[in-house]
Chains A and B, each alone.
Chain A
Amino acid sequence: MKDLFRGELVRFTSEEPETRAKAEVRWQRDTEFHRLADGDPAQLSSEKKIKEWFEKQAEGFQPKRYSFCVRTLAEDKYIGFLGLWVDLIHSEAWVGLGIGEREFWSKGYGTDMMKLCLQYAFTELCVERVSLGLHEYNPRALRSYEKCGFRLEGRTRKDGMREGRRNDTLWMGILREEWLQMQDGGHK
């Protein structure tokens, strides 16, 4: 069986609330990082509050929420996170990811994270579909997700506003059979 938690560049881990809070406090101060990952106004939270939030998350298992921390294989450095929200009724998972450490942008780490995520979603969670949304001003993410097999399914027009300019949100999805086909192709 394949290793679910180990890709070519990164591995999935679960870091302690304290470690996560310390990193989060640094990452949330990076406006560009926030705006690439999120559509809400940027906010600064205390280390204490963030730690309490992660502690609460650690309390119980929720069958609809899967959250991973990401470490590089080469340096064993904690660089980001990936989360899945599963709709158990309709067998669909939504994914969101972020790389807080800027020196690891544009080097294939995000693509490796997403490939691991799809393997987990389709072989462990066994969902029929994985979905995501991204901002149109994030072409790097678009290319990465396309590489992983996601298809662009449309755009909600001008539903974001940054720096006085309206922008679209792009919506992507990949079906189980599309992913399985890509895996077969890889073995040929």
Chain B
Amino acid sequence: MFDIQTQLFEGQDIRFGPIDHEKDPEIEAKWTHDSEFMRLMETSPARPMSAAMIKKQYEKLEKQIEEDKNLYHFMIRVKADDRFIGKASIYWIEWANGNGNIRLGIGAAEDRRKGYGTQALGMLLRFAFAELNLFRVTANVPEYNEGAIALLQKFGFMQEVCRRRSLERDGRRWDLYVFGLLNDEWRNRVRA
């Protein structure tokens, strides 16, 4: 169980940090050249991006965070060497309804399947439920992203909606699943 002193941004092997505008763009630009990663992360068309384009995106993102006040964004870093390995965010927060959407990605193939995603989702949920005090969080996942579906189910997310044939990729149509987790469901699990 957590208490007031438990660090929000420090996990077992990873930490959440802010954007490093100097070093991060080059690393993220590399991830965008992996179309498989882009298709798991985005429903918009995959395209390779330069460090300069990523840099602009970061500036836009920080401006949006300041203006809209419904978005939290974290860079995931390995504690041992401070290496940037992924991103986690809570977006489209509706404060009056206590609802937010989450997304999470580990960029490089060699950093996947090492438990970093599990640790990051655990930290992101604690931030959503124990710091922002959201009532629930929502996650949208295409049916072909089996890794994400297994991860969400591990944390007790329930598949609430199946938006039939909402995406078109590789010449066929795919379902899009909407998953939800309520604050008390999360709390009962971490207490157990």
- For chain A residues 130-184, which have a beta carbon within 8 Å of chain B? 131, 151, 153-161, 166, 171, 173, 175
Q: Please tell me if A74 contacts chain B, counting CB pairs below 8 Å.
A: no
| Chain B, 117-142, CB within 8 A of any chain A CB | 135-136, 138
B50, chain A: closest CB distance, angstroms? 22
- B78: CB under 8 A from chain A? no
Q: Chain A contact residues: over half helix, strand or loop, or mixed?
A: strand
Q: A173: which B residues are within 8 A, CB to CB?
A: 163-164, 166
A40 CB within 8 Å of chain B: yes
B165 contacts the other chain (CB 8 A): yes
Quote the shortest CB–CB distance from A181 to chain B (angstroms).
15
Kindly state the separation between the CA atoms of A135 and B173 in the bound complex, as whole angstroms. Answer: 27
Closest to A89 in B: B45
**Which residues, 133 to 165 on B, are CB-close (under 8 Å) to A?**
135-136, 138, 158-165
Q: How many residues of B contact A (CB 8 A)?
A: 26
Decide if B168 touches A161 in the complex (CB within 8 Å): no
Contact indicator A154/B178 (Cβ below 8 Å) = yes
Please, which residues of chain A bring their CB within 8 A of the CB of B107?
A: none
Contact mask A111-137 → B, CB, 8 Å, 1/0?
000000000000000001101000000
Q: Known: A39-B94, A89-B44, A128-B168. Is A155-B136 also a contact (CB below 8 A)? A: no
Report which of B163, B167, B173 forms a contact with A171, defined as CB distance below 8 A. Answer: B163
User: Which one of B159, B161, B163, B168 contacts A89 once the chains associate, using CB atoms below 8 Å?
Assistant: B168
Check A131–B168 contact: CB distance below 8 A.
Answer: no
Q: In the bound complex, do residue B166 and residue A157 qualify as a contact, i.e. CB atoms below 8 Å apart?
A: no
In the bound complex, residues from chain A placing their C-beta under 8 Å from that of B160 are 154-157
Q: Which A residues between 17 and 56 are near B, CB-CB below 8 angstroms?
A: 39-41
Known: A40-B96, A89-B44. A157 touches B136 (CB 8 A): yes
- Is A90 an interface residue when CB atoms closer than 8 A count as contact? yes
Contacting residue for B182 out of A153, A158, A160, A161, CB 8 A:
A158
Contact pick for A90, options B97, B161, B162, B167, CB 8 Å: B167
Q: With A159-B97, A161-B96 as given contacts, are A153 and B180 in contact (CB-CB < 8 Å)?
A: no
**Whose C-beta in chain B lies nearest to the C-beta of A178?**
B164
**What CA separation (Å) do A155 and B161 show in the bound complex?**
6
Assess whether B32 is interfacial by the CB under 8 Å rule: no
A161 with B178: CB separation less than 8 A: no
Tell yes or no: A91 within 8 A of B by CB.
yes
- Can you offer 20 A-B residue contacts whose CB atoms are under 8 A? A89-B168, A90-B168, A92-B166, A128-B168, A128-B173, A129-B165, A151-B164, A153-B161, A153-B163, A154-B159, A156-B180, A158-B182, A159-B94, A159-B138, A159-B180, A160-B99, A161-B96, A161-B97, A161-B135, A173-B164
Interface positions of A (Cβ within 8 A of B): 39-41, 89-92, 128-129, 131, 151, 153-161, 166, 171, 173, 175
List the 3 closest pairs (A to B, CB-CB), nearest first: A154-B161, A159-B99, A171-B161
